Structures are given as C-alpha cells and as structure tokens.
Amino acid sequence: MLFQTPLFLRGDVYSNVAYGLRIRDMPEKEIGERVAEALREVRLEGFEGRDARALSGGEQQRVAMARALVLDPEVLLLDEPTSNLDPANSSVMGEIIGEESRKRLVILATHDYDQIKRLARRTIYLENGRVKEVGATEEFFSVSRLEDNVFTGSSRAVEGVTYVDIGKGVEVVAAFSREGKITIHVRPEDIILSRSPIESSARNSLEGAIVGLEEIGSIVRLKVDVGRVFTVQITRKSFAEMGLNVGQEIYITFKASSVQLL
C-alpha cells in the first residue's frame, strides 16, 4: 500500500527500498538488483545514497512507490498518491501508475476525476463510506450523469494553471493545463462556505447569494448564485451554526485542484 503521505526509516533511499526484501531474507545481491530496477521504474536512478527524509515531496512519493514495487505485489493499493504533488510530479506518478496497472491490479483512491478517466478501466463511486455506483469508467463519466456544478466554457493556460471563463463574469482557476472549450465539474462537498472572505491557499473565492436550499438527512445542499449557480453541500450542524437562509450574501471558496476536467 502507498499512503498519501509516506513515512521513512532513518537512512538512505537504498535502505528504505531494500527493507521489505531484507526482512524476507533475500540474498543481498538480488536485493541490489531489485532495488535498482524499482528505482528505474519510478525515474529515480542513482538516488540510492540520498537521504530519504531530505528529498522533495514528489521524490519521496516515488521512493515510497519503489518500496512497494520492489516486493512485486499482486495488488497495489494507492491512497490519493498525487494529492500533495505539484503538476510535474503528479504527471510522472500518473505515468508510473499507468505502467504498473498493466502488470498488476491497481486500486486507486482519488478525488481527481481527470486522473480516473486517464488511468481507470473500472470506477467505484463512494459517498459517505457507501458504494453508490460501480461500472466502466467511460460510462461513469458521461457528462449527463453529473447533476451539479458542471460548466462549459473557454479556457486559457498560464504556467500550468488553467483559467476557465464559465460565463456571466465568472472565471474559475483549475490546477491542470488545457486551452480551448472545456467542461469542468466541482464537487459540492469540496466547496467551503463563509460569511466573509477567508485567507487560504485556495485559488477560487466568489461572492454571491443563497438562492435555494434542500435538507437531506444530516446534510444541507445550498444553491449559491455567484453569477453562475453553484451547489454547495454542508452538514446540518454547520448550517445551523452559521445561521444561513435564502437571500443571504455568502462566499464560496474551493481549491484549483478541486476543479475536475470532464
């Protein structure tokens, strides 16, 4: 299993990647060969002597991948392996995952719809810990199946970031690079509501008014008009604590990485 945030033993890259083989009493010569091969697979040849804890986040994630691959598992479990990576490292990890999926079963947990479309043959959709849908990825990602926060607009890319004009004076910032006419989606639960602007690293902050609401069990789904209408999902407790109602002015905030390309 590859966790979202990797942990390392003290020491260099070689000792970390070799650890699982050593506790299996594999001969040192074979360990050396398999470690070298695993590092080649993750594009980190020559990193054997580097301090594992001193590497960049992207390099650490690839070393953690090598540590899993060196054991040649039948099943590889990945927990949001690219969520904390910059676009360049995320792209490399995507290539590695694609290559490994042709050698073994890979189960990938992720919020990145674009990554799912590129890598997965089969998609399992979970909501509140329950399986809501299972099927072929190309069927799952038919635009007509998504009900909320689907917008089509024109985009321009600047230094790996995309600015999408979705009409009525609303521009959305996305963490991928794409130009031309595109369709995007933002999950209602990825949007933060606040009475005033909040300071955060999120690239999207829009002011609007609540124009509708629906209470469903322990959650409340709000319609917020910021020029275009966004659906926002919060808990009933948060809704009550904020004292929200139709007609109130509100801010919606979401990360560029929450904008998914359809």
Distance between CA atoms of 90 and 159, rounded to whole angstroms? 15
pLDDT at position 88, please? Answer: 81
Residue 133 lies in a domain: no
Q: What is the pLDDT of residue 145?
A: 58
Q: Is there a domain that residue 131 lies in? A: no
Whether residues 161 and 242 fall in one domain:
yes
159 in the same domain as 257: yes
Q: Is residue 243 one of the residues assigned to a domain?
A: yes
The amino acid at residue 28 is: E
Domain-embedded: residue 84 = yes
pLDDT number for residue 126: 84
- pLDDT of amino acid 141: 65
Co-location of 154 and 257 in the same domain: yes
pLDDT digits (tens, 9 = 90+) for 58-78: 999 999 999 999 999 999 999
Residue whose entry in the numeric block shows the structure tokens 């008014």: 209
**Of 110-114, 140-144, 225-229, 258-262, where does mean pLDDT reach its minimum?**
140-144
Cβ atoms of 190 and 260 within 8 Å: the answer is: no
* pLDDT for res 201: 84
Same domain, 87 and 23: yes
Q: Indicate if 98 and 18 belong to the same structural domain.
A: yes
Tell me which of 81, 110, 139 is where a domain ends: 110
What pLDDT was estimated at residue 66?
Answer: 97
Are 113 and 185 spatial neighbours (Cβ–Cβ below 8 Å)? Answer: yes
pLDDT value, residue 143? 53
Q: Which residues pair with 158 in a beta bridge?
A: 161
CB-based contact 234:219 (threshold 8 Å): yes
Average pLDDT score, the chain: 90
In this prediction, residues 200-210 reach a mean pLDDT of: 93
Q: Give the model confidence (pLDDT) of 2-54 as tens digits.
A: 988 888 999 999 999 999 999 999 999 999 999 999 999 999 999 999 999 99
Q: Do both 89 and 190 map to the same domain? A: no
At residue 22, the pLDDT reads 96
Tell whether 159 and 84 lie within a shared domain: no
What pLDDT is stored for residue 199 in this prediction?
85
What is the residue-wise DSSP string for 82-122? TTTS-HHHHHHHHHHHHHHTTTSEEEEE-S-HHHHHHH-SE
- The count of structural domains within the chain is 2
Asked if residue 100 belongs to a domain, the reply is yes
In a domain, 122, yes or no: no
pLDDT at 237: 87
Query: Residue 92 is part of which domain span?
Result: 13-110
Residues 165 and 243 in one domain: yes
Question: Do residues 100 and 156 share a domain?
Answer: no
Do both 162 and 237 map to the same domain?
yes
Collect all residues with Cβ–Cβ distance below 8 Å to 199 and sequence separation of at least 6: none
Q: What is the spatial distance between Cα 93 and Cα 22, in angstroms, rounded to a whole number?
A: 26
Looking up residue 189, the CATH number of its domain turns out to be 2.40.50.100
Helical residues (DSSP H) of 188-244, grouped into ranges: 236-242
205 located within any domain = yes
What are the pLDDT digits (tens) for 147-157? 789 999 999 99
